[in-house]
Structure 1
């Protein structure tokens, strides 16, 4: 593996690590505040844009799509983690044990029940903000 390949790989790993870290923080804050804390979606977009800037991903439509998809990934991971934490707590499981056992259909049902229209507006605003802030130049 050449130095250029490693550098490119690290550039792409930075947004991934940022997504995982922000989603974990979101789940922890949701646990503490006992709500969905959907207002974190625009902050997640800011985090993604910052990670892409730090990774020096070139401006353009691929970076815009990556920013928006990364924000979507954070929202999905956070909601999955919140659902898994709540279910796992009642079953005596740790959050990551519950997250691995939570099926997609059950998770989707729990996420739909937990999110209001206002939550969906926050999520949409985060996704749009990521697309706007990343500047597709």
Structure 2
């Protein structure tokens, strides 16, 4: 049913729940998993001499977040690869889904933003992905 599952991770403890669902769905379909993680470096510090170090640190942490999820999936016998993207989360997830031709997106809900009902229930990133995706999306609370 699914050939490519995109799992969006944010580095929070909720990733553990995403891994359970992703592993189950990947096993049922014999699908590969693309673990996508988006990060943004605060530009307010771009005038400082150490901004390049800050960028490098953010990139390193982002790669570690994605690698941890890939490692967990591979230990479970699921073929997984990482895709780390710099930029806002929702556009990065949507672009990664398009590039990898994802058949399913699995992501969490954070529900931190409360500007409308959808965002209050899902979180702003989840709501934005749902509004703009072309494929089924599983939101894990």
* TM-score (norm: length of structure 1): 0.37
Structure index of larger Rg: 1
* TM-score (norm: length of structure 2): 0.36
The structure where strand makes up a greater share of residues is 2
The structure where helix makes up a greater share of residues is 1
